[in-house]
C-alpha cells in the first residue's frame, strides 16, 4: 500500500509540476509573447519576400534594368559629348543653377538602386530565362555606350592624358623631361588640359600603351581624338570584364562576377565617362591575379605592366612572390616568371630612358602632383594638418606613409599564408596604398572593383555597394560643400573623407581582423589543467 501510495503520490507530484511549469509566469509572458510574435512575423515576412521574389523576379529585373537605363539616359541628355563636348573644362562646378545638382544626385541614386536590384534578383533567381538576361544585358550595353559618349566632367585628367600623348607623338619631346609650358607654341589642348608646368608622373608603360591609338586619333581635332581614345578605353574595359568572366568559370558565377564589374555605375562613370587610366591598370591587374591562380608564368610580367602604368600596384609584388612560395612553385618557374619581366620593363622604359633622366623626371612629377593636389586620404589629410598647424613636416609624412605601408604589407603577406585565395590580401594592400602613399579619389576604386567581383564574398559585396553609392554622390555633394566653404579646403576634404575614407577604413579594419583571428587564441584552459601534480601513491 505504501509503495502504491508512494508511486501514486510521485506521479501526482510530477503531473502537478508539469502543469505548473506549463503555465507561464506573469512577468515572463509579455516578453516571451513578443519574442514569439516577432520571430513569427520575421519568418512570415521573409517567406513572403521569398515568395514575391519567386513570382515577380522577372518584373523586378525589368524594373532594375529600367532604373539603370533611365538614369544614364538622363545624364546623357544633360552632359553628352554632342552637347557640351566643345566646352573647355566643363564640370559639376559649372552646373547652374546649383539646384540642378539635386537632379544629378537623384539620377546617380536611381542608377545605383537599379544596379543593386539587378544583382540581387539575378542571384536569387533559381532559373535564368532569355528575357531576364536580355533585359540585364541590354541595360548594361546601353550604359556602356552612353558613358563612352559622356563628357568627362568628373575630372580633367582625360584631357591631361591627351595633352601628354600629343607632346610625345606630334612634338617628339619626352614628357618626363619637358613640360607642356616649354613647348614653342601652345596648341589646341592648351584650353582643355591642366598641370602645364610639371613633368609626367605616370609610369612609362602608360605612355607607351597610350601612343598606340595616336596615329588613328591624329591629336589635331579635339572631338575625333576624344572619340578614338574613348573607344580605346572601351576595349580595355571589355577585356577586363571578359577576363573576370573567364576566371569565374564562364557559367552563372562568371556572369554574376562580370555583372558586378561591367554594370558598376562607379566603374562606368570613372572608367568610361571620365576615361581614367585606372581601367588600363585594372586590366593588367586582373590578368596578373588570374595568372597567379592558374600558376602561369605571366603572373609577374602582368603585375609589372600594371605597376609601370601606376605605382599603386607595386606593393603587390611581395604578395605575388610570397604566394608562389606558399603554393610551392618550383624555383625554376619563379625565376622564369621573373625573367619575363625584363622584356616588359625594357619595352616600356627604353623609349623614354634618356640616359637615366626618366627616373628623375618621373619622380619629380609624381611627387609634385602629390604636393600640389589634396584629397581625403590619410596621407593628404595629414599633410594638410601639418601645413595648417605647422607642427610637422608635410614632406616627411610622405616617407612615414610609405614606411607604414611597407610594414603593413609585410604583415598582411605573412598572415595570408593559410588563405585559399590571394585576392583578400591584394584588396587590403591596394586600399592601404590609396590611404598611405597617394591621394584618394573615387576613380581609385576602379582597380578595386574587379578584385571584389572575382572574390565575391558577402562582406566584400557590402563594401562594394556602399563604396559605389558614396563614390557616385561624391561629385554633387562635394560641389555643394565646396561652394559653401570656398576658403577652407581642409574642411571640404574632411567632408569627402566621410564618403570615401571612413567606409574604406571600416572595411580595412574588418579585413585585417579576419587576417589576425586565425592566429589569436581566445580559449582558456580550465583552472589547474596546466599544473603538474605528483603521482598518486601506488601508481
The whole-angstrom separation of Cα 233 and Cα 148 is 9
Under the banding of pLDDT at 50, 70 and 90, the label for residue 45 is: low
C-alpha cell belonging to residue 97: 543653377
- Residue 33's pLDDT is what? 62
pLDDT at residue 46, rounded to an integer: 56
Instruction: Give the rounded distance of the alpha carbon of 460 from its chain centre.
Output: 10
- The whole-angstrom separation of Cα 469 and Cα 339 is 42
Q: Residue 309: its pLDDT value, please?
A: 97
Q: Could you tell me the maximum CA-CA distance found in the chain, to the nearest angstrom?
A: 124
Sign of the alpha-carbon torsion through 72, 128, 54, 126: negative
* 159 Cβ contact list (under 8 Å, min separation 6): 152, 189, 192, 193, 194
Choose among 446, 452, 454: nearest CA to 266.
446
- The confidence score (pLDDT) of residue 124 equals 83
- Structure confidence by residue, pLDDT tens digits, 3-23: 443 445 445 555 555 444 444
Average pLDDT score, the chain: 86
Burial class for 3, CB neighbours closer than 10 Å (0-12, 13-18, 19+)? exposed
Contact criterion met (CB below 8 Å) for 494 and 385: no
Q: What is the mean pLDDT of residues 88-93?
A: 86
The pLDDT tens digits for 319-347 are 999 999 999 999 999 999 999 999 999 99
How far out from the chain centre does Cα 314 lie? Answer: 17
Lowest-confidence pick of 135-149, 438-452, 510-524: 510-524
Confidence of residue 521 (pLDDT cuts 50, 70, 90): low
Nearest to 143 by CA among 228, 30, 66: 66
Whether residue 1 has pLDDT greater than 60 = no
Predicted pLDDT at 377: 93
Give the CA angle between residues 216, 217, 222 to the nearest 5°.
Answer: 160
Q: Is the pLDDT of residue 534 over 50?
A: no
Name the one residue in this structure whose C-alpha cell is 513569427.
40
Which 3 state secondary structure label does DSSP give 150? strand
What percentage of the chain has pLDDT greater than the value 90? 59
Residue with the larger pLDDT of the pair 55 and 437: 437
Mean pLDDT value of segment 84-90:
87
Question: What confidence category does residue 227 fall into, taking pLDDT thresholds of 50, 70 and 90?
Answer: very high
Q: In whole angstroms, what is the distance from residue 291 CA to residue 246 CA?
A: 12
C-alpha 471/C-alpha 268 separation (Å) is 12
Give the cell for residue 264.
Answer: 558598376
- The reported pLDDT for the residue numbered 526 is 47
Nearest to 438 by CA among 348, 313, 271, 304: 313
Q: Where are the domains of the chain?
A: 56-518
Residue 27: pLDDT above 50?
no
405 CB-near residues (< 8 Å, 6+ apart):
315, 432, 433, 436, 437
Q: What tens digit of pLDDT does each residue of 240-274 get?
A: 999 999 999 888 889 999 999 999 999 999 999 99
Closest CA to 283 of 343, 217, 338, 232: 232
Mean pLDDT lowest among 49-63, 263-277, 457-471, 495-509: 49-63
Q: Which three cell numbers stand for residue 331?
A: 624555383
- Could you give phi then psi for residue 80, rounded to 5 degrees? -75, 160
Residue 485 has pLDDT above 90, yes or no: no
pLDDT score at 533? 38
Least confident of 93-107, 221-235, 441-455: 93-107
Alpha helices in 197-277 (DSSP H): 204-210, 214-217, 222-247, 252-262, 265-267
pLDDT at 191: 86
pLDDT at 325: 95
| Per-residue confidence (pLDDT) for residue 95, from 0 to 100 | 83
Residue 409 has pLDDT above 50, yes or no: yes
Given this model, what pLDDT does residue 443 score?
95
Contacts of 462-468 with CB under 8 Å at 24 or more apart are 463/503, 463/507, 464/260, 464/264, 465/112, 465/116, 466/503, 467/266, 467/500, 467/503, 467/504, 468/112, 468/115, 468/264, 468/265, 468/266
C-alpha 271, offset from chain centre: 12
Specify the higher pLDDT residue, 73 or 182: 73
Q: Which of 35-44, 155-164, 426-435 has the lowest mean pLDDT?
A: 35-44
User: Which of 132-136, 209-213, 280-284 comes out lowest in average pLDDT?
Assistant: 132-136
| CA dihedral for 117, 119, 120, 125, sign (positive or negative) | positive
Buried residues in 158-196 as b, exposed as e (16+ CB within 10 A):
bbbbbbbbbbbbeeeebbbbbbbeeeeeeeebeebbebe
Task: For residue 284, give every residue at least 6 positions away whose Cβ sits within 8 Å of its Cβ, in sequence order, or none.
Answer: 302, 303, 305, 306, 309
pLDDT band of 393, cuts 50, 70, 90: confident
DSSP annotation of 219 reads: S
Residue with cell 614606411: 403
Ranges of H-type helices in 350-500: 357-372, 378-389, 394-415, 423-436, 449-455, 458-484, 489-499
Q: List, in order, residues 6 or more apart from 532 with CB less than 8 Å away.
A: none
Task: Tell me how many degrees the CA angle 101-89-96 measures, rounded to the nearest 5.
Answer: 30
Structure confidence at residue 12 (pLDDT): 54
**Mean pLDDT of the region 452-465:** 92
Backbone φ and ψ of 452, nearest 5°: -65, -40
Reduced to 3 states (helix: H, G, I; strand: E, B; else coil), residue 80 is strand
Q: Between residues 409 and 4, which one has the greater pLDDT?
A: 409
Amino acid at each position: 500500500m505504501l509503495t502504491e501510495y508512494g508511486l501514486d503520490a510521485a506521479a501526482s507530484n510530477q503531473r502537478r509540476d508539469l502543469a505548473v511549469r506549463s503555465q507561464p509566469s506573469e512577468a515572463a509572458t509579455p516578453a516571451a509573447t513578443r519574442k514569439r510574435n516577432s520571430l513569427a512575423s520575421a519568418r512570415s515576412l521573409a517567406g513572403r519576400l521569398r515568395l514575391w521574389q519567386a513570382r515577380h523576379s522577372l518584373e523586378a529585373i525589368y524594373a532594375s534594368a529600367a532604373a539603370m537605363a533611365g538614369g544614364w539616359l538622363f545624364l546623357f541628355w544633360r552632359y553628352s559629348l554632342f552637347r557640351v563636348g566643345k566646352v573647355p573644362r566643363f564640370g559639376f562646378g559649372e552646373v547652374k543653377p546649383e539646384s540642378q545638382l539635386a537632379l544629378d544626385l537623384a539620377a546617380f541614386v536611381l542608377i545605383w538602386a537599379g544596379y543593386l536590384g539587378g544583382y540581387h534578383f539575378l542571384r536569387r533567381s533559381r532559373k535564368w530565362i532569355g528575357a531576364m538576361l536580355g533585359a540585364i544585358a541590354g541595360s548594361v550595353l546601353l550604359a556602356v555606350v552612353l558613358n563612352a559618349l559622356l563628357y568627362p566632367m568628373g575630372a580633367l585628367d582625360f584631357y591631361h592624358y591627351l595633352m601628354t600623348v600629343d607632346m610625345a607623338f606630334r612634338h617628339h619631346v619626352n614628357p618626363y623631361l619637358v613640360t607642356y609650358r616649354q613647348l614653342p607654341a601652345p596648341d589646341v589642348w592648351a584650353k582643355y588640359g591642366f598641370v602645364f608646368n610639371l613633368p609626367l608622373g605616370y609610369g612609362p608603360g602608360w605612355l607607351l600603351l597610350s601612343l598606340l591609338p595616336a596615329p588613328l586619333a591624329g591629336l589635331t581635332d579635339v572631338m575625333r581624338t576624344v572619340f578614338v581614345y574613348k573607344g580605346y578605353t572601351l576595349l580595355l574595359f571589355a577585356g577586363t570584364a571578359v577576363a573576370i568572366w573567364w576566371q569565374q568559370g564562364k557559367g552563372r558565377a562568371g556572369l554574376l562576377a562580370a555583372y558586378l564589374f561591367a554594370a558598376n555605375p562607379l566603374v562606368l562613370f570613372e572608367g568610361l565617362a571620365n576615361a581614367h587610366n585606372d581601367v588600363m591598370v585594372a586590366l593588367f591587374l586582373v590578368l596578373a591575379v588570374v595568372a597567379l591562380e592558374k600558376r602561369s608564368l605571366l603572373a609577374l610580367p602582368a603585375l609589372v605592366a600594371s605597376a609601370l602604368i601606376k605605382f599603386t600596384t607595386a606593393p603587390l609584388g611581395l604578395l605575388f612572390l610570397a604566394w608562389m612560395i606558399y603554393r610551392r612553385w618550383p624555383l625554376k618557374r619563379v625565376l622564369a616568371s621573373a625573367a619575363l619581366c625584363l622584356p616588359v620593363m625594357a619595352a616600356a622604359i627604353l623609349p623614354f630612358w634618356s640616359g637615366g633622366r626618366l627616373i628623375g623626371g618621373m619622380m619629380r612629377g609624381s611627387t609634385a602632383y602629390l604636393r600640389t593636389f589634396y584629397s581625403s586620404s590619410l596621407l593628404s589629410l595629414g599633410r594638410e594638418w601639418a601645413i595648417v598647424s605647422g607642427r610637422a613636416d608635410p614632406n616627411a609624412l610622405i616617407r612615414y606613409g610609405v614606411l607604414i605601408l611597407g610594414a603593413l604589407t609585410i604583415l598582411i603577406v605573412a598572415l595570408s599564408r593559410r588563405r585559399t585565395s590571394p585576392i583578400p590580401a591584394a584588396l587590403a594592400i591596394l586600399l592601404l596604398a590609396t590611404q598611405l602613399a597617394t591621394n584618394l579619389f573615387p576613380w581609385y576604386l576602379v582597380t578595386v572593383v574587379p578584385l571584389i567581383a572575382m572574390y565575391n564574398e558577402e562582406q566584400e559585396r557590402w563594401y562594394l555597394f556602399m563604396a559605389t553609392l558614396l563614390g557616385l554622390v561624391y561629385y554633387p555633394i562635394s560641389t555643394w560643400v565646396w561652394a559653401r566653404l570656398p576658403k577652407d579646403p581642409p574642411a571640404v576634404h574632411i567632408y569627402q573623407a566621410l564618403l570615401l575614407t571612413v567606409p574604406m577604413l571600416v572595411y580595412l579594419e574588418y579585413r585585417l581582423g579576419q587576417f589576425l583571428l586565425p592566429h589569436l587564441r581566445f580559449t582558456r584552459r580550465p583552472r589547474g589543467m596546466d599544473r603538474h601534480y605528483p603521482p598518486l601513491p601506488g601508481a
